[in-house]
Structure formats: C-alpha cells, structure tokens
Amino acid sequence: MLIKKPSDMSPSEITDKELYLNRREFIAKTAIAIGGAAVSGIKITTDANAGQKLNVTKRGHFAEGEKETPFKHAANYNNFYEFSTNKEDVAELSRNFRTRPWTVSVEGHVKKPRVYDIDEIIKAFPLEERIYRFRCVEAWSMVLPWVGFPLGDFIKICEPLSNAKYVEFTTLYNPKQMPGQQRNVLEWPYVEGLRIDEALNPLTILALGMYGEVLPNQNGAPLRLVVPWKYGFKNIKSIVKIRFVEDMPISSWMKASHQEYGFYANVNPSVPHPRWSQSEERRLGEFLKIKTLMFNGYAEQAADMYKGMDLRKYF
C-alpha cells in the first residue's frame, strides 16, 4: 500500500476540513441508528449546570457483568418528543432548555401538599449512583449509571393518604422551550403513572444525574423517573408535578394508542409489540442483538407485585 506524504499531495487531493467534519457527523449518526460501534465522542454542552459533578454517597451495580454504555451514546440518541421525534436531534434542540428556576408541585391525596424547589429536593436526599439496564420499547437498550434517590423516600415525606392508590407524574409544558410540543404528536403535557407499590419499590428512583454529573437536558433534566423493569416511555422526564390519586392515571401513550402502550409497560420478551418482537434488543453502540430478560433482569425485585396477573392482558 502506497502512503503519500503531505508534500507529495496536490491541494485537490486534500479533503476539505468542513467536508471531513460533516462526513464524521453523518457516520456518527448512522452508526448510532444501526447500533454500530464507531460513533463520534463529542460531548454536547447543554445548560449552565451541564458537567457539574454531583456528590454521590453510595454506589451500586444492578447490572452485574455488563459494561456501561458510553456517555456519547446515551447523550446523543434520545427519546424526548417534547423536543423532537428524531432521536439524533434532541440534544441540539434542548441545548438552551432552562432548568432554573424549577419547582415540583405535590398534589392530590397527601397530608402535605406543597411546592418544592428543585435545589431543595437535591439537598434533602443523599444521592446514590445506580447502574441499571435501560430498555426502550423500540428494542434498543443501554446500561446507565443514574444518580438519584429512591422515589419511596420522597413519597414518605409527602405522607400519602390511604386512598392514594397511584402516583401520577406530569412533564413541563412550555412549547417555546420545547419545540416538539408545538406539534400534536401526543396530548401535552406528557403524563405517566405508577401504582403506589411500584412507586415504593426500592429500585424506583428519581434521577437528577447520570455518569456522576447533573442530568443533561436531553436526558430529562432536571428531574426524571427511572423504573428499570419497565420500558423507557414510563420513565417520564422533566417532572413538574407529582399527584397522588385514587384511580389509575391515563398516560399520554395510552391516550395516543392504547392497543400498543399499556399502563404497566413491564419489559416482557414474550409479549410482542403489535409492530415488532420484544424478544431481543440491541445495546446502543453494539451490533449484535441479545435476548431480552423478563422484567429487564429485575424479576427478583419486581415479579411479586404482579402475582396472579395476566401479563398479556395487563401489558
């Protein structure tokens, strides 16, 4: 193979820098879309808090034997329809999303309804890093180091009443900041819910960060839900309201297509989505598919909550 030195090349043989960078960007996006391994390592800067380290008091690996998904994949391939239905565009479109000031309203059947400032919440709870498998309904997955605290700890200070059977979560509604909300893709604001026992499960957390740093805008800043045995759409982002209710909340995806998206959304390889199989998944940044685990590998901690339920009917 003949390798030319720069002095041997004519100007016409030298690739223009801008063209080269655009080509790299195209290759990066294509590789993410197909689960390939060659992806750009550029870290996108978002709001003023981006890159800020969090004080983690405890660490736990809940996906033993599995390596973490590189940050470049997790931060550049995002389901966040409030910004865009194109996963590769969310990071750029959320770049200037403002996460301060930010409040979270606690409402419904609780002894202590009130409005919390996000920084008040951060100071109130010791932060843990938990490495979880994360499975999206479209059959791609990641292994992510979330930073947060058990949702159950927050619920305890709210003191829900005995008739609070479910917890309903609501995302910010601000079409000026979230351009995807200017389209009727879903009914806005985004709403999700959990049964109270699911919310109190020790695995369920409210996340404020990932990879030891403040949560990037595109990943749901400043506060999001993480329920590792459920499909990704249950893990609502940019939460502004938590409401304790007696009746099952009708989530945004249930309203949009109840035949495809059920309330429970437990990862279940034996129950296919109407348009594709759920038996396998592809980790972002990898090419080969792997078998999907029941309850995403968390059956030991989650299965007892659904004893006696028909998981094909209650999907």
Cβ burial of 64 (10 Å; 0-12, 13-18, 19+) is exposed
In angstroms, the CA 166 to CA 244 distance is 6
Q: Please say if the pLDDT value at position 280 is more than 70.
A: yes
In angstroms, the CA 90 to CA 315 distance is 28
Residue type, 49: N
- Let me know if residue 59 belongs to a domain: yes
Nearest to 247 by CA among 113, 108, 154: 108
Q: Please say if the pLDDT value at position 27 is more than 90.
A: no
Q: Please say if the pLDDT value at position 41 is more than 50.
A: no
Other Cβ atoms closer than 10 A to 189:
18
Domain count, the chain: 1
Q: Please say if the pLDDT value at position 70 is more than 80.
A: yes
In angstroms, the CA 82 to CA 84 distance is 6
- Let me know if residue 312 belongs to a domain: no
Q: Domain holding 269: CATH number?
A: 3.90.420.10
Residue 50's pLDDT band (cuts 50, 70, 90): low
- Let me know if residue 32 belongs to a domain: yes
Report the run of H or E that residue 200 belongs to, with start and end: helix 196-200
- Let me know if residue 5 belongs to a domain: no
CA-angle at 72, arms to 281 and 56, nearest 5°: 95
Residue 48's pLDDT band (cuts 50, 70, 90): low
Nearest to 64 by CA among 132, 154, 156, 146: 132
- Let me know if residue 7 belongs to a domain: no
Domain range enclosing 48 = 18-306
- Let me know if residue 9 belongs to a domain: no
Residue 51's pLDDT band (cuts 50, 70, 90): confident
Q: Which residue did the predictor score with more confidence, 96 or 22?
A: 96
Look at residue 94 in the predicted model and tell me its pLDDT: 98
Mean pLDDT of the chain: 88
- Let me know if residue 248 belongs to a domain: yes
Look at residue 297 in the predicted model and tell me its pLDDT: 98
Q: How far is CA 144 from CA 158, 219, 272, in A?
A: 28, 11, 24
Residue 28's pLDDT band (cuts 50, 70, 90): very low
Question: Which of 48-62, 112-126, 189-203 comes out lowest in average pLDDT?
Answer: 48-62
Q: Please say if the pLDDT value at position 200 is more than 50.
A: yes
Is residue 179 within 8 Å of 95, Cβ to Cβ? no
- Let me know if residue 232 belongs to a domain: yes
In angstroms, the CA 282 to CA 34 distance is 9
